Structures are given as structure tokens and as C-alpha cells.
Amino acid sequence: MNPDKNPPTRPLVPQKLKERLYPVVLDFFAENDFHQVNIRKISQVSGLSTGTIYKYFRSKEELILDILEEKIEELKQLTRFHLQGLESTREKFRKAFWVLMDYYDRNPGLAITFFITVPTRTWMQRESYARYDVHDIVSAIAGIGRKRGDIDPDLTDAQITGLYFMHCHREVTIWYYRGMQWKLVDAIDRFFPLFWKAVAA
């Protein structure tokens, strides 16, 4: 590969800057249409100069997708932590749903930005769109469950992860559309039996 074709390495974002910038960015994207958000407005509210922001992020797309990728990594680590010690395949899936929904209950702006605001086409341009790490955790649960005879052997990992994220997307979308009047974790009792019925042996 020609090194000249590689984009220049960006400097690491200091933690203090993240703490000041990221909440403002998520609030903007949660409260506005994607195309209404720009670096100038983010600069005004965060108190950071546009030059400082552009030092670390080349565009608003790069800024919000970098934030989402960091949050996905945090969610992955939380999920792995909470799955420790669980043996039941059913309870592992339920816990994975709970961790995700609880995380979004505590970070509603992130849920709205992730599922509602950021255009899918924009994210598809990033490698991370096809390398969503939580997929690996769901696939691992399915694989172990299949060996134990808990999972329908005719279902592929892709089908099971598809069902998992279909429920997540649907619940967040309905929650947002209805004015966020309930906690996302409270919806698990309603949809999880349907999910388990679909994947169980």
C-alpha cells in the first residue's frame, strides 16, 4: 500500500477536552437534525475554538462518529463485565439486552444520536459500521448456546444478531417517537419472550 494514500495521523484527543466537548456534541445531535449541526455552533456552546476542534476532527461527521465508536467500545466492555458468571444462555441474552437498554437510559442523547440522528449512509463510509463489536458478543452467546442445545441449530449467528439488534432499534425508535415516557429497560419484559421464542431450540 502506498503510504502517501494514508490519511495523516490525528493527535490523540485529551480527556479534559472530551469531557468538555462530547456532551455538547451529543446534545446537539440529539436535539437537531443531522444537517442542522455544524462545528461553529458546537464551538459557541462548548467554548472551544473552531481551530481547537478542527485540530482533532476534520469534520462534524468525523467528530460524531468518533464519539459513537468510543461509546460502543464502552458498551462492549460493560456487556462483557455483566455477562461474567452467567451460565444460562437465556439469561445471557436477557442480560445483554439489559446492559444496552440501561446504558441508553443513562445516556439518552447517545441513544437518539445513534438510532435516530446519524444517517446510516454516513456511517457506512466508516470501517466501524461493519465491525460493530457488540455483534461479536451476541454471536459468542449464540455459539455457546448452540453447542449446549439451547439455540435452534438452523439459525445462523447473523440471523440471531439481526433479531437482537432489530429489537434494540425498534424499542429505541418507539421510545423516542412516544416522547421517551418510559425507561427502555422496562420494555425488556415485553419483547424478550418474543426474542427467546424465536431463537430457542
Q: Output 71 or 196, whichever has higher pLDDT.
A: 196
Residue 32 C-alpha cell reads as 437537531
pLDDT given at position 4? 42
- Long-range (24+ apart) CB contacts under 8 A made by 197-200 are 198/163, 199/93, 199/142, 199/151, 199/152, 199/155, 199/160, 199/163, 200/90, 200/150, 200/151, 200/152
Res. 132: pLDDT tops 80: no
Please give the DSSP secondary-structure letter assigned to residue 128.
Answer: G
Residue 172 C-alpha cell reads as 429505541
Domains (range + CATH), the chain: 10-199 (1.10.357.10)
pTM above 0.95, yes or no: no
Of 133, 146, 196, give the one whose Cα is nearest residue 167: 196
Averaged pLDDT score across all residues of the chain: 90
pLDDT given at position 1? 40
pLDDT digits (tens, 9 = 90+) for 80-112: 999 999 999 999 999 999 999 999 999 999 999
Banded model confidence at residue 7, pLDDT cuts 50, 70, 90: low
d(Cα 18, Cα 69) in Å, to the nearest integer? 13
pLDDT given at position 133? 66
